[in-house]
Amino acid sequence: MIDPDDLALLATSFAAAMSRAPGAAEADDALHDLGWGELLAHAPLQGAAAAFSALGVTGSAACLLDDVAANALGLPVSASACVVLPAPSFSRQPAERRGQSIHIDGLVSARIDRSDRAMVAVSDGSVVEVDAALLRTTDVIALDPQRPFRRLRVDVCERDVVVLARAGSWDTVILRARAAVAHQLVAASRVMLDQATQHAVDRVQFGRPIASFQAVRHRLADALVAIEGASAVTEMCAEDECDPLMATMARSLAGAAARTTAASAQQVLAGIGFTTDHPFHLSLKRTMVLDTLFGSARTLPTEIGNALLAIGGAPRLIEL
């Protein structure tokens, strides 16, 4: 268990390194130089809390989710480790066997450009290694201009893959990835709220700051409440142990908070926020992309409800 103050320091130094790095690849390298890989091995949930909060604060496109997934699967972690992620808003393994081929339907991070091979989890529980060249997609235009993740739909031949020995389970990947993305979404939501709050104070209409209008104030207050609720649950996913249901709720609430905050911030920023002169659009697009990872604010409540129905009740999950 890492001391909370040390964890905050780590997040700060991660964020500083990300801000200095000119691109995603350089940010990846910088984080690995700072010992991110060892941290992940030593304290996976806490390490992810620090690194993914930093991702959210800086808007960096560093591909750290590959590391989280590789580590959870018990596979080697490095700045060139590439793990194929589930299809948008899904969380099951991205591949399945179909006769002599393996059908992959998922997302792949920008790491694919600098890796020789990628790791792909298959629905039968195995993990295979594929030549990265087979998974490199031609450049397509997508929502997020930095394209941290790309859509991947491809079939590879059984004889072109190597089955890997691995120690971890896909369930662990889901839990850790959800917690990590929740931290990033919460931090990114705070960035949007800060932008809108600052604008509300600075922008004058009808002879007074728009922050004095209650319609504006309440929208921003609702965003803060959504963020703090999500944050409180997400914080519980940086402890030693984390129930899978808790990570699912953190991810779900963080996605919902990002949606609420983006809508409020967009409305308060109005015209200026609609331009690419203002950075808001970057957060809007990034949080939309993040909310497709390992479920979405739309799909996860149903998953939570079904999990509760299977249990037949509502567990407390944490005590005082």
294, 251 in Cβ contact below 8 A? yes
| Degrees, nearest 5: CA angle 80-84-88 | 135
Smallest gap from residue 89 Cβ to another protein (A) = 14
Could you say which of 74, 168, 209, 244 contacts another protein (CB under 8 A)?
A: 209
Let me know: does 91 contact 175? Beta carbons within 8 Å. no
Specify the residue for token string 């450049």.
139
Can you tell me the distance from the alpha carbon of 184 to that of 255, in angstroms, rounded to the nearest whole number? 10
Q: Which of 277, 260, 235, 306 is nearest to 50 (CA)?
A: 235
- Among the listed ranges 40-48, 82-90, 204-212, 275-283, the one in contact with another protein (CB under 8 A) is 204-212
Smallest gap from Cβ 262 to another protein, in A, equals 17
Nearer to another protein, 34 or 224 (CB): 224
Count of residues interacting with another protein (CB under 8 A): 46
Q: How far is the CB of 211 from another protein (least distance, A)?
A: 4
Tokens of 135: 């998974």
- Min dist CB 253 to another protein, Å, is 6
Question: Nearest distance from residue 172's CB to another protein, in Å?
Answer: 21
Separation between Cα atoms, residue 304 and residue 299, nearest integer Å? 9
Q: Which of 9, 157, 163, 311 binds another protein (CB under 8 A)?
A: 311
C-alpha to C-alpha distance for 149 and 30, rounded to whole angstroms: 20
316 binds another protein (CB under 8 A): yes
Distance CA(50)–CA(153), nearest Å, equals: 32
Residue 92 binds another protein (CB under 8 A)? no
**Any contact of residue 224 with another protein (CB under 8 A)?**
yes
Does 246 engage in binding with another protein (CB under 8 A)?
yes
Closest CA to 96 of 111, 113, 82, 84: 84
Element (H, E) at 119: strand 117-121
Q: Which is nearer to another protein, 41 or 225 (CB)?
A: 225
Calpha distance 186→184 (Å, rounded)? 6
Query: Could you tell me if 118 and 112 are in contact, meaning their C-beta atoms sit under 8 angstroms apart?
Result: yes
Binding residue for another protein (CB under 8 A) from 233, 284, 289, 293?
A: 233
1 binds another protein per the rule CB under 8 A: no
For another protein, the binding residue among 18, 180, 220, 262 (CB under 8 A) is 220
We find the least distance from the C-beta atom of residue 191 to another protein, in angstroms, to be 14
- Rounded to a whole number of angstroms, the minimum distance from the CB of residue 242 to another protein is 12
Residue from the set 200, 247, 289, 290 that interacts with another protein by CB under 8 A: 200
Are 131 and 121 in contact by the 8 Å Cβ rule? The answer is: no
Query: Following CA atoms 226, 227, 232, 234 in sequence, which dihedral angle do they give, to the nearest 10 degrees?
Result: 110
- Residues lying near another protein in the complex (CB under 8 A): 197, 200-201, 209, 211-214, 216-218, 220-222, 224-225, 228-230, 232-233, 235-236, 246, 249, 252-253, 300-306, 308-314, 316-320
